[in-house]
Amino acid sequence: MKPAVYHKLHFRTKEILGIDTKMLEEGIPFSKAVRKFLKWCGPDPRFCTWGSTDLVELQRNMKYYGMLNLLRGPVFFFFLQKLFGLVYEGEKTARSLEYAIKFLDMEQEGDFHRALNDARYTAEIFSSMPVETALKNYSIDCYQNPRNKKEEIYTVFDNYSKFISREFPSKEDAMRDREVTATKCFLCGRTARKKVRWFSVNPKAHLCLAWCPEHGYFRGKARLKKTDEGKYYVVKTLKKIDKEEADSVREKKDALRKKRRQKRHQTEEKA
């Protein structure tokens, strides 16, 4: 695509992509390119990406050009980097596309970090995966986050549930909301009693530990996300865990409490 905001490429970008500014000037404007792309996708597309930020950048650029209405969100998609780890390594990993191609012993016909080549490699890896695994482990891009209670999202996967809240004016308001802080067992629907109440791990994440009499321990994680307009929403997951993992949550809270106590004590001594 032809650049419209930044007309010079960073030297590192040139090095990775193997292109120069002259080549970009031969491209077409973003607004025309994205319309052609969405027309090619068809009326009900299912996106598939290797990285987790591709859809964010697509929507951010569409918003800049006043075209975000052409792609309604939140966008449900297949996050191939995560799926590769689940299918071939038994856990979520963050392997490179080049690593995956070599791991699967697929033929390399073009350089990596080129849009068409990477798209083809991603499609080939996707086609090698069990369809049912992909369908059960889809991802949700929330650049276009839920704005009100009616738009909130709640979905259940094999061993965890995900809740995406509406917008709140502040982090504090978000963490005071009953739905955000609720811990409902996604296996039986009953409320899982909190053994460790929500506590802040860092400014963007909170943890808790809950117990269901029938299904055992669950770890709650609430990630606070900030919108472009300065509001906040929460992506909360509730995952079934064993006793060892439950003890780890308790230890983390104790360690944070101890660290904060020491910091407060040091501050008082200096005063």
- Domain check: are 217 and 193 in the same one? yes
Distance of CA 96 to the CA centre of its chain: 17
> According to the model, what pLDDT value does residue 253 have?
96
For residues 188 and 243, membership in a common domain is answered with yes
Segments forming the whole domain that contains residue 6 = 1-41
Is the Cα torsion angle 28, 31, 32, 38 positive or negative in sign? positive
Cross-strand bridge partners of residue 225: 233
Examine the domain organization and report whether 253 and 154 are in the same domain.
yes
Q: What is the pLDDT of residue 28?
A: 86
Whether residue 96 is found in the same domain as residue 184: no
Last residue of a domain, one of 128, 144, 160: 144
Q: Please tell me the distance from the alpha carbon of residue 172 to that of residue 236, in angstroms, as a whole number.
A: 15
Return all residues near 213 (Cβ < 8 A) that are at least 6 apart: 190
* pLDDT tens for the 271 residues of the chain, in order: 566 665 566 656 666 566 666 666 677 889 999 999 999 999 888 999 998 889 999 999 999 999 999 999 999 999 999 999 999 998 888 999 999 999 999 988 777 777 788 999 999 999 999 999 999 999 999 999 999 999 999 999 989 999 999 999 999 999 999 999 999 999 999 999 999 999 999 999 999 999 999 999 999 999 999 999 999 999 999 999 999 999 999 999 999 999 988 888 777 777 6
Which residues have a Cβ under 8 Å from the Cβ of 22 and sit 6 or more positions away? none
Q: Domain check: are 13 and 68 in the same one?
A: no
CA torsion, ordered 29, 31, 34, 38, to nearest 10 deg? -140
Residues 121 and 216 in one domain: no
Collapsing DSSP to helix, strand or coil, 141 comes out as: strand
Q: Which of 125, 144, 163 is the last residue of a domain?
A: 144
Number of domain units in the chain = 3
Same domain, 4 and 63: no
Write down the pLDDT at residue 147: 95
pLDDT score recorded for residue 52: 85
Identify the three-state secondary structure at position 121: helix
* Residue 241 and residue 194 share a domain: yes
3-state secondary structure of 35: helix
Residue 176 shares a structural domain with residue 237: yes
Residue 144 CA to residue 72 CA, distance in Å, equals 8
Q: Is the dihedral of CA 235, 239, 245, 246 positive or negative?
A: positive
131 shares a domain with 67? yes
For residue 128 the two structure tokens come to 């090698």
Let me know: does 161 contact 191? Beta carbons within 8 Å.
no
So what's the pLDDT on residue 20? 64
| 134 and 183 assigned to the same domain | no
* pLDDT score at 6: 57
Instruction: Assess whether 140 and 166 both reside in one domain.
Output: no
**Which residue from 170, 171, 84, 184 is spatially nearest to 124, judged by alpha carbons?**
84
Q: CB-based contacts of 221: which residues, under 8 Å, 6+ apart?
A: 205, 206, 207, 236, 237, 239
Count, residues in the chain: 271
Report the phi/psi class of residue 83: left, alpha or beta, with left for phi > 0 and alpha for psi in -120 to 50: alpha
